[in-house]
Amino acid sequence: MTVTARDIAQELNLSQPTVSRILNGDRRHRIAEITRTRVLDAARRLGYQPNAVAQSLRRGRTHIVGLYTNHNYDARNDFLGTIIGSLQRACELQGLDLLLHSALLGRSTEELYGKLRDGRIDGLILHASPDDPLVEMLGACSLPVVAIADRLRTLQAVTCDDADGIRQMITHLWRKGHRRFAFLAPEMTLASVDRRRDAFESELEQRGVAEQDRRVLSIDFEKADAVLEALLMNALPTAVCCWNDRAAYNLLRACLAHGVRVPEQLAITGFDGFTDDKIPSRHLVTICCPWEKVASTALDLLTRQISSRSGDAEEAEGSEICLPVTLVTGDTA
């Protein structure tokens, strides 16, 4: 049988409002400490458990934040798994729970919007393409939202310095003597990838590299191995910059399978800072992004939005915190 505040009040011959205030931690009313102690002792003795739903309705807070991605990958993906784990740790420090949402079930935009706005979450961490209609809908509603990894129009965002990461990578490859390059980008639209591709082309153009020697090739998400044949044609680039580490590892695996020597014949670099335990003998040259810091910073911004729900929103609209990245050297380039 569920023990209620009314039961405790009857047990101690106190008023229910007094017991409810003590159980809810309300110290705005003067209550004798001996009374407070009696109520809390009785609650423990009788096995009282607070009703989380009722408390949420009273306080207007659920202490749950959501994470939504519209991309077709799950928690086993390097990036998403790292973001989820980092957010879980950050939430634990703030006494929050994390609720995951995704587009994997094929729900309509309206259905997803309804689920995100149904009161179960206090705010949302969002990772989505800029052309997703849900982005505009969320940007126009009262739900606190912070974009992560990719900037999204009018939303606050926490990102990594994609452009500087590519500049660091090009500088490293240039010092190694490379003068013919390729950048492998996914077919889907991501603001971070756009920045990396733009920095790739701009940096090489400034260094005087001809257009035919700084090619951009499209791949199906992370399937970089599918373009190995194209890379092995006569106009072979000597260095390939992949949009993320998983694409780089897939290309590296294909090179090993086809006898292409890395980095002697083809230098391969990634971006993100992940490792692949399936190829322990190789160390990918990559750009390390501080994903844990990205996640904790995004959560801090979100909790501030949740607490204020007000006038700072206009000033913060579209603002971006861009965190620095670092080059990690290895044996693939």
Which pair of tokens denotes residue 3?
A: 């023990």
Element (H, E) at 327: strand 326-328
pTM (predicted TM-score): 0.81
Phi, psi of 129 (to 5 degrees): -75, 145
Q: What is the pLDDT of residue 75?
A: 82
Instruction: Give the pLDDT confidence of 28-50 residue by residue, as tens digits.
Output: 778 889 998 998 898 888 888 77
Instruction: Give the pLDDT confidence of 122-144 residue by residue, as tens digits.
Output: 999 999 999 899 999 999 899 99
pLDDT score of 314 more than 70: no
Split at pLDDT 50, 70, 90, the class of 233 is: confident
Instruction: Give the pLDDT confidence of 58-108 residue by residue, as tens digits.
Output: 555 789 999 999 887 778 889 999 999 999 999 999 999 999 987 766 678
Q: For residue 263, say if its preceding peptide bond is cis, omega within 30 degrees of 0.
A: yes
Instruction: Give the pLDDT confidence of 67-80 residue by residue, as tens digits.
Output: 999 887 778 889 99
Q: What is the pLDDT of residue 316?
A: 59
The mean-pLDDT minimum among 16-30, 145-159, 244-258, 296-310 falls in 16-30
- Say if residues 285 and 257 touch (Cβ distance below 8 Å): no
Q: What is the pLDDT of residue 54?
A: 53
E strands, 87-209, where?
97-102, 123-127, 145-148, 156-160, 181-186
